[in-house]
């Protein structure tokens, strides 16, 4: 009971807080974080990568396939068209597989390379950088933007702010129109919107998503990443000591401090200084306003902006690059990163299995859906000829995008009479409903309930497709 708990002295870490902003704006992060522009290989790669996905986002809804919009997620018609593939509510399992594959792909990438999705592919990050680019063009670089916000309104400030917000609204409107164009024919949407003939719901969602884009990318920015996005909260559960993340090498960088450029690297080491000159550029270029030198933080989106900024400073000081880099905790501790490890292998195996199941589901998916509805008014009836008759309604869904001819045949019932259409045509992506009657002599029935099949046959791309839908033939 007299043993004391050992106490370890820990040097407190000075946490960086962004400067700027006046009193009374404690929670207004946009008045405090002014992101500085940075150049470097990672920034160039991120911009190139972002432009590719931005271009795909803008071009895909304009593509045509078989005379219609190639990608159209028509919620009103409950039909998703993706080139030659048409998905219906009956294909919900495919959508589930797509979400599962996406989730495990995210888990795999996060375990391997940290939060690179946020830094390089997330739409929020891409649009924030687009808005920041317009902000720099209209208001100038970081220091000029700070001074512009501090000074009272004048003609020059008014013109710069107006130009910036006009560009922001234009980008938001184009983004919203393109996004809504995935759910309604995009050509007609653009014409109807700018001629004020758009439907209420289409117009409502264009305005809604435009406001969301303008608010998120223009004002909320890092708030979406640090307070709203759930990914920032559970990402650490997928990290381990071998995960590549943007990290600061404290062993090499400390003790940090300014020094003249004329000093050689060896002379700096003799004075007890590390490689970090405490220029704070890594903080100024960070889109979430953190100081990476304080260690791994959930706000870090692994964009690599601080890596480019620090490497630029190291070049000017004639120091080795890599003071801030994509590295692992194991490597920072002097060990070797283990790329192949059980957790990563597990995610990869599950990802491959899910992808296989997704493609198997697509490959085995039937191009025709058949539904049999019995007549609810009577179980059966006796005709004037003394035959026992059952009435059904046949619903045939053509899941393909081409017109198909279907024929109906009854299986499991001897010597039957068929009344109704036995051959009909269904347009691509349409549902055809037709009533039929099936009658037979009572002497052919061995029981009050006979299991039969209503067979629907068609030819799709030269292959004969037959759907045998089970139902009951009732008597007494």
Residue spans per domain, the chain? 34-87+122-220, 368-474
CATH class of 368-474: mainly beta
Three-class DSSP labels, the chain = CCCCCCCCCCCCCCCCCCCCCCCCCCCCHHHCCCCCCCCCHHHHHHHHHHHHHHHHHHHHHHCEECCEECEEEECCCCEEEECCEEECHHHHHHHHHHHHHHHHHHHHHHHHHCCHHHHHHCHHHHHHHHHHHHHHHHHCCHHHHHHHHHCCCCHHHHHHHHHHHHHHHHHHHHHHHHHHCCCCCHHHHHHHHHCCCCCHHHHHHHHHHHHHHHHHHHHHCHHHHHHHCCHHHHHHHHCCCCCCEEEECHHHHCCCCCCCCCCCHHHHHHCCCCCCCCCCHHHHCCCCCCCHHHCCCCCCCCCCHHHHHHHHHHHHHCCCCCCEEEECHHHHCCCCCCCCCHHHHHHHHHHHHHHHHHHHHHHCCCCEEEEEEECCCCCCEECCCCCEEEEEEEEEEECCCCCEEEEEEEECCCCCEEECCCEEEECCCCEEEEEEEEEECHHHCCCCEEEEEEEEEEEECCEEEEEEEEEEEECC
Q: Label residue 322 left, alpha or beta by phi (over 0 means left) and psi (-120 to 50 means alpha).
A: left
Q: What is the pLDDT of residue 4?
A: 56
> Would you state the pLDDT for residue 351?
95
Tokens of 344: 């990563």
Q: Which tokens go with 449?
A: 């309930």
Per residue of the chain (476 residues), give pLDDT as tens. 455 555 555 444 444 454 444 444 444 444 468 999 999 999 999 999 889 999 999 999 999 988 889 999 988 888 888 888 888 887 888 888 999 999 999 999 999 988 888 888 889 999 999 999 999 999 999 999 999 998 999 999 999 999 999 999 999 999 999 999 999 999 999 999 999 999 999 999 999 999 999 999 999 888 888 888 888 777 778 888 999 999 999 999 988 888 888 888 888 888 889 999 999 999 999 998 899 999 888 888 999 999 999 999 999 999 999 999 999 989 988 889 888 999 999 999 999 999 999 999 888 888 888 999 988 888 888 888 889 999 999 999 988 888 899 999 999 898 899 999 999 999 887 889 999 999 999 888 888 899 999 999 998 878 898 999 999 999 87
Of the candidates 452, 431, 426, 432, the one whose C-alpha atom is nearest the C-alpha of residue 440 is 452
Q: Which pLDDT score is estimated for 206?
A: 96
Buried b (16+ CB within 10 A) or exposed e, 164-180: beebbeebbbebbbbbb
pLDDT value at residue 2: 54
Return the structure tokens found at 456. Answer: 């629907």
What pLDDT does residue 473 have?
92
Query: What's the pLDDT score for residue 458?
Result: 92
**pLDDT in the model for residue 189:** 95
How would you classify the pairing of strands 85-87 and 71-74?
unpaired
């Amino acid at each position: 009971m007299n043993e004391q708990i050992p106490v370890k002295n820990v040097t407190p870490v000075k946490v960086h807080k962004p400067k700027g902003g006046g009193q009374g704006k404690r929670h207004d992060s946009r008045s405090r974080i002014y992101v500085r522009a940075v150049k470097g290989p990672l920034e160039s790669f991120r911009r190139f990568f972002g432009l590719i996905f931005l271009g795909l986002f803008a071009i895909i809804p304009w593509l045509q396939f078989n005379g219609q919009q190639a990608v159209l997620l028509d919620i009103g018609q409950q039909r998703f068209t993706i080139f030659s593939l048409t998905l219906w509510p009956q294909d919900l399992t495919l959508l589930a597989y797509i979400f599962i594959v996406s989730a495990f792909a995210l888990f795999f990438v996060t375990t391997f390379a940290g939060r690179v999705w946020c830094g390089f592919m997330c739409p929020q990050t891409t649009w924030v950088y687009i808005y920041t680019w317009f902000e720099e063009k209209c208001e100038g670089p970081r220091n000029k933007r700070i001074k512009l916000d501090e000074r009272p309104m004048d003609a020059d400030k008014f013109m710069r702010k107006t130009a910036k917000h006009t560009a922001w609204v234009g980008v938001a409107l184009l983004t919203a129109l393109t996004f809504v164009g995935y759910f309604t024919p995009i050509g007609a949407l653009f014409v109807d919107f700018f001629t004020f003939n758009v439907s209420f719901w289409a117009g409502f969602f264009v305005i809604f998503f435009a406001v969301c884009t303008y608010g998120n990318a223009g004002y909320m920015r890092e708030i979406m990443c640090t307070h709203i996005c759930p990914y920032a909260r559970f990402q650490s559960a997928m990290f381990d000591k071998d995960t590549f993340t943007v990290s600061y090498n404290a062993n090499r960088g400390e003790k940090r401090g300014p020094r003249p450029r004329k000093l050689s690297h060896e002379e700096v080491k003799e004075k007890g200084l590390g490689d970090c000159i405490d220029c704070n550029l890594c903080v100024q270029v960070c889109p979430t306003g953190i100081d990476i030198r304080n260690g791994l933080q959930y706000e870090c989106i692994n964009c690599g902006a601080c890596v480019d900024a620090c490497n630029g400073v190291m070049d000017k000081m004639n120091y080795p690059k890599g003071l801030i880099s994509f590295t692992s905790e194991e490597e920072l501790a002097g060990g070797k990163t283990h790329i192949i490890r059980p957790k990563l292998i597990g995610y990869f195996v599950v990802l491959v299995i899910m992808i296989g199941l997704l493609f198997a589901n697509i490959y085995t998916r039937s191009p025709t859906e058949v539904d049999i509805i019995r007549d609810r008014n009577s179980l059966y009836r006796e005709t004037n000829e003394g035959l026992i008759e059952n009435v059904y309604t046949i619903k045939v869904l053509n899941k393909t995008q081409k017109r198909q001819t279907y024929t109906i045949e009854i299986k499991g019932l001897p010597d039957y009479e068929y009344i109704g259409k036995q051959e009909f045509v269904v347009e691509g992506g349409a549902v055809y409903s037709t009533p039929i009657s099936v009658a037979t002599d009572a002497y052919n029935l061995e029981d009050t309930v006979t299991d039969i099949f209503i067979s629907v046959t068609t030819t799709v791309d030269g292959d004969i497709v037959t759907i045998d839908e089970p139902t009951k033939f009732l008597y007494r």
